[in-house]
Amino acid sequence: MAEQVRSITDTGISSSVAEWSASVLACNERAARSEKSKRGRLRSSLLRAFVGVVALTLTFANSSGAQNQQRSGAHSKTSRDAFTPAERRLVERAIGATCAERIRDPQGSTPIDEMQTRPSLPVNNPEALAGARRAERLLPTTRKLVINAILQLAKDYDLYESSISRARITSATVRVDSVRHVKADVDARDNASVALREPRTIEFGTIFLAGLRSDEAMISVLAHELTHIASGQSDSLRPLFRAIGRKAAARTGLRIQGQRAEELSCDLVGALATREFIKQTASWEPLPRRIARAFEHNCVDDDASDEDHLSPRNTIRALFTLDTSLAGEVAGPGAGGNTIEPFAPIELTPLTTRF
């Protein structure tokens, strides 16, 4: 009986211990699950917080970088490429001043649309002869002015950095220095031209020779043709022409590429060469008049263009847009200044490469 009671008691105790153990295990398991759940929620919360901080940091960095980039880009664009409304008004005033000066100037050039209506002139026409003598006299000076202008523009447009670029520019200046002759041609009428296969002579129509009545006007046209020769059959100056065309197109809204860019660039070299000539030669004549002579043949009434050329008046507009200091000099005191600074001397790099 005692053994039976002890057995029952032991069985009860064992059952109670088992139930207690199961209960403890269940509690521990629930506690573990609860702790694991808490840790999971904590990790999840921490992860969400970390992701939020990273996202916020990246957003701020991108925003700050964009703002800095915008400020930097805007500053750079303003310093190099911006064209203000005030400058646009100055350009238009300078165009008016140029063409008004042509009418007042005893040596004012004949507009090219008027030249086109005139009958051909013989080579021995007195005005054509005077023009030919002027061109021959000014050719040596103009060669030097054009070489310096090309070098300066190459530096201004960051095209004189690499050895290849320097070699191309140097080969261009060598071609300029090889030109020795001016030839009058009745059939060329109101044009000037060069044959790149024989780049030693500039041909002038007799009407053109007669219509350019000043040294300044003649230098601007001689320099234009010399720049074509400088680029030559190898298109040595094509990168410069493209850069000038892009800048002029951005500022004027005109389509300026291909041959138009080359023609405008040649005109720009002509204008810069004329300004340097004025700087080097004293005269009693007012500066605006002398500067205007580089552009006066474009003061036309029939302002037509073609695929290769801007219209004459848009040519003046683009040139003044490219160099607003020229516009200020033509418009006179109070309109942007009328002082001329000479080109800084630039040494030629010895030619080591042929193109």
The encoded tokens of residue 325 equal 């200091």
Instruction: Mark whether 260 and 229 lie in a shared domain.
Output: yes
The predicted pLDDT at position 257 comes to: 93
Integer Cα distance of 125 and 79 in angstroms: 51
Instruction: Mark whether 97 and 243 lie in a shared domain.
Output: yes
Report the pLDDT averaged over residues 147-166: 90
The predicted pLDDT at position 333 comes to: 65
Instruction: Mark whether 99 and 210 lie in a shared domain.
Output: yes
174 vs 7 pLDDT, higher one: 174
Instruction: Mark whether 3 and 127 lie in a shared domain.
Output: no
142 vs 197 pLDDT, higher one: 142
Of 82, 98, 125, the position where a domain reaches its end is: 82
Tens of pLDDT along 11-66? 443 444 344 344 444 444 554 455 545 455 545 554 454 445 444 444 434 444 44
Contact by Cβ (8 Å): 337, 346: no
Tens of pLDDT along 77-103? 334 567 899 999 999 999 999 999 999
Residue corresponding to tokens 């670029």: 165
Integer Cα distance of 276 and 190 in angstroms: 26
Instruction: Mark whether 52 and 183 lie in a shared domain.
Output: no
Instruction: Mark whether 203 and 250 lie in a shared domain.
Output: yes
Lowest-pLDDT range, 81-95, 110-124, 137-151, 306-320? 81-95
How many domains does the structure of the chain reveal?
Answer: 2
Integer Cα distance of 299 and 313 in angstroms: 6
The predicted pLDDT at position 199 comes to: 81
Instruction: Mark whether 300 and 324 lie in a shared domain.
Output: yes
Examine residue 268 and state whether it is found in any structural domain, yes or no: yes
Instruction: Mark whether 166 and 282 lie in a shared domain.
Output: yes
298: containing domain? 85-331
Tens of pLDDT along 181-220? 999 999 999 999 988 877 889 999 999 999 999 999 999 9
Counting residues of the chain whose pLDDT is more than 70, the rounded percentage is: 71
Of 63, 82, 101, the position where a domain reaches its end is: 82
Instruction: Mark whether 285 and 197 lie in a shared domain.
Output: yes
